[in-house]
Amino acid sequence: MTLSKLYATMMNATALSVAIAGSVSAADLEFYFPVGVNAPAVETIQALTDEWATANPQHTVKAVYAGNYEDTTTKALTAANAGQPPQVAVLLSIDLFTLIEEDVILPISDIANTEEDKEWISGFYPGFMKDAQFEGKTYAIPFQRSTPVFYYNKDAFREAGLDPEAPPKTWDEMIEVGKALTVKDDSGNVKRWGTRIPTLGLGGAWLFGGLVVSKGDVLTTETGTEARMDTPATLASLEFLLRLAEEEVMAPGGITWGDTPKAFLEGQTASMWTSTGNLAFVEKNAEFDWGVGFLPGGDGPGAPIGGGNFYIMQDTTDEERAAALSFIKFMTSPKSAAKWSMATGYVAPRPDTWETPEMKAYTKRLPQALVALDQLAYAEREFATFQRAKVTQYLVDAIESVVTGNANPAEALSKAQKGADKVLSDYK
């Protein structure tokens, strides 16, 4: 072959591949995601992202670790305001109303409108889809969802003469069991508490939501304009928290979310209420026999649903949207979701994921992972309204003022309700 012929062939081949690539509409995606410092979690996201990128070479995707949930939402919004939003992001499910109001996300149901797509959307657990929908459209796709669960130290149970396979199911049982588990030292100081429920900040508000659900009520509805802060259920929940401290089952005062797993692992508390997303962390570091149960409930089991969903931003081209949708489908596919769930303990959002051989082996080895899934039947959406940050702050203030002994429950809740109503009045 002469040099010129070789050259011509090369040019033709290049032109052809460019044409092919062009016809599959290349897109550059920027993907914001929140995670904790759990090294495997960040790596897992990166690995999954790379996998999709390799399978879709015409697109590029850059995964940007943006901090914790709040930070990631803030960053996505500020980037959108500045005209440089990411194309796809995992953000809190409860940010739905804020994102809609600021007009930064588009209804995924609008672009996922083929029969195949619709079937794909219906393949997610309805529990997780509840807070992804507004006014009949689906705005988000569940990705890293969780409920809090009750972790307990089986060795501590045995020490206290309790059955390690029977975690408490009701609030009264929690107090009974908790009293037996609390250990004091010689000077009368508590060395190990019976249980630990975070009460500060948004983590505290999340768990509080679970208490309310277990009393048969909800904190917010799908309209996004209603906050039910002053109800018999919320009152009972606050009183339960106070009782736990009074009966010396739990430390009095504000309890942080971030230090809770560490306190549990260090034996400072015999049980803890925290996200199933901490499963991997506990498994890796626990030096004792441990188990997981439903959150003890007031009138029955109850839990809040939490975690993040995939959103596609409004400010995107058609190519970017198609690429983003493909990316989301990949990330929530059984294989990917299984990897993600096993790396963290988040609940895989599709039934078909739990049927994969990897997940079956995982749950056989770690049956604790199934608890969150089973609890899903009793779970309700997390606190979410328009102006969520502002309205939630009223709830947070109420809870914090009560557990630190600065207000009585009835007053605190009434004050919170007034504040919330004032903010939401604009939206009704």
Distance, in Å, from the CA atom of 243 to the CA atom of 282, rounded to the nearest integer, reads: 28
In the set 397, 410, 414, 421, which binds other proteins (CB under 8 A)? 397
In the set 71, 116, 246, 374, which binds other proteins (CB under 8 A)? 71
Regarding 9 and contact with other proteins (CB under 8 A), the answer is no
Please, what is the minimum distance in Å from the beta carbon of residue 64 to other proteins?
Answer: 6
Whether the Cβ atoms of residue 205 and residue 148 lie closer than 8 Å to each other? no
In the set 3, 83, 425, 428, which binds other proteins (CB under 8 A)? 83
Of residues 307, 287, 35, 255, the one with CA closest to residue 149:
307
DSSP states of 257-275: STTHHHHHHTTSBSEEEEE
In the three-class reduction of DSSP (H, G, I as helix; E, B as strand; rest coil), residue 338 is classed as helix
Region binding other proteins by CB under 8 A among candidate stretches 332-340, 357-365, 372-380, 393-401: 393-401
Regarding 393 and contact with other proteins (CB under 8 A), the answer is yes
Regarding 253 and contact with other proteins (CB under 8 A), the answer is yes
Nearer to other proteins, 330 or 383 (CB): 383
Spell out, one character per residue from 324 to 353, where the chain touches other proteins: x when CB under 8 A holds, - when not: --------------------x---------
Regarding 225 and contact with other proteins (CB under 8 A), the answer is no
Region binding other proteins by CB under 8 A among candidate stretches 127-135, 228-236, 317-325, 396-404: 396-404
Regarding 81 and contact with other proteins (CB under 8 A), the answer is yes
Spell out, one character per residue from 157 to 186, where the chain touches other proteins: x when CB under 8 A holds, - when not: -----------------------------x
Please, what is the minimum distance in Å from the beta carbon of residue 229 to other proteins?
Answer: 15
Exposure letters 270-291 (e unless 16+ CB within 10 A, then b): bbbbbbbbbbbbbeeebeeebb
Taking the alpha carbons of 172, 173, 176, 178 in that order, is the dihedral positive or negative? Answer: negative
DSSP 8-state class, residue 227: B
Residue 301 β-bridge partners: none
What is the total count of residues that contact other proteins (CB under 8 A)? 68
Distance, in Å, from the CA atom of 66 to the CA atom of 111, rounded to the nearest integer, reads: 26
86, two tokens: 């990411």
Please, what is the minimum distance in Å from the beta carbon of residue 168 to other proteins?
Answer: 22
Regarding 359 and contact with other proteins (CB under 8 A), the answer is no
Regarding 254 and contact with other proteins (CB under 8 A), the answer is yes
Regarding 134 and contact with other proteins (CB under 8 A), the answer is no
DSSP states of 166-210: ----BHHHHHHHHHHH-EE-TTS-EEEBS-B---SHHHHHHHHHH
In the set 28, 50, 103, 246, which binds other proteins (CB under 8 A)? 103
Regarding 66 and contact with other proteins (CB under 8 A), the answer is yes
Regarding 230 and contact with other proteins (CB under 8 A), the answer is no
Of residues 83, 71, 85, 60, the one with CA closest to residue 33:
71
Whether the Cβ atoms of residue 65 and residue 42 lie closer than 8 Å to each other? yes
Regarding 82 and contact with other proteins (CB under 8 A), the answer is yes
Nearer to other proteins, 68 or 408 (CB): 68
Residue 32 β-bridge partners: 64, 89
Nearer to other proteins, 275 or 332 (CB): 275
Parallel/antiparallel/unpaired status of strands 28-33 and 88-92: parallel
Regarding 281 and contact with other proteins (CB under 8 A), the answer is yes
Regarding 389 and contact with other proteins (CB under 8 A), the answer is yes
In the set 142, 194, 201, 209, which binds other proteins (CB under 8 A)? 201
The answer for 309, left when phi > 0, alpha when psi is -120 to 50, beta otherwise, is beta
Please, what is the minimum distance in Å from the beta carbon of residue 104 to other proteins?
Answer: 8
Nearer to other proteins, 238 or 251 (CB): 251
Whether the Cβ atoms of residue 120 and residue 81 lie closer than 8 Å to each other? no
Whether the Cβ atoms of residue 311 and residue 5 lie closer than 8 Å to each other? no
Exposure letters 365-397 (e unless 16+ CB within 10 A, then b): eeebbbbbbebbebbbbbbbbbbbeebbbbbbb
- Residues near other proteins (CB under 8 A): 34-39, 42, 64-71, 74-75, 77-79, 81-84, 98, 101-103, 186-187, 189-190, 200-201, 251-263, 265-266, 268, 275, 277-278, 281, 285, 344, 387, 389-390, 393, 396-397, 400-401, 403-406
